């Protein structure tokens, strides 16, 4: 049996939080932009022959192209979307280290 993620454990323990999240997700998934995205992705999955065959693969949007990759890798991607890149900030000189400061 695989270990549950921290988020999964949280929502299993906190029923009210789980219900609140599910309500939000229900509304979010109804948005026209999300319906359009879901329809497009399902269509591409059918074209690639991977829709509904449980092969563990999914279409992914990489560098303006559509490619097949493992569904788990697609879900775990933190660098594939512009919003994620913007949230992390710029790399290189002038960027403050947000991690361990060595006790100073």
Predicted TM-score (pTM) above 0.75: no
The CA distance from 34 to 45, in Å, is 16
CA dist 5 and 43 (Å) reads: 30
Q: What is the pLDDT along the chain (104 residues), one digit of tens a residue?
A: 568 889 999 999 999 999 999 999 999 999 999 999 889 888 988 998 888 888 888 888 787 788 888 888 777 666 656 666 666 666 655 555 555 555 55
For residues 21-53, b (16+ Cβ closer than 10 Å) or e, as one string? eeeeeeeeeeeeeeeeeeeebeebbeeeebeee
- Give me the helices (H) in the chain, please: 6-13, 15-30, 32-47, 71-76, 82-88
CA 16/CA 38 separation, integer angstroms: 28
């Amino acid at each position: 049996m695989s270990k549950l993620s921290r988020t999964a454990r949280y929502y299993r323990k906190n029923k009210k939080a789980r219900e609140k999240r599910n309500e939000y997700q229900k509304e979010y998934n109804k948005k026209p932009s999300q319906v359009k995205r879901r329809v497009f992705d399902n269509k591409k999955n059918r074209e690639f022959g991977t829709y509904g065959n449980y092969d563990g693969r999914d279409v992914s949007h990489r560098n303006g192209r559509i490619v097949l990759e493992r569904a788990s890798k697609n879900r775990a991607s933190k660098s594939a979307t512009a919003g994620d890149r913007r949230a992390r900030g710029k790399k290189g000189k002038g960027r403050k280290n947000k991690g361990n400061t060595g006790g100073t």
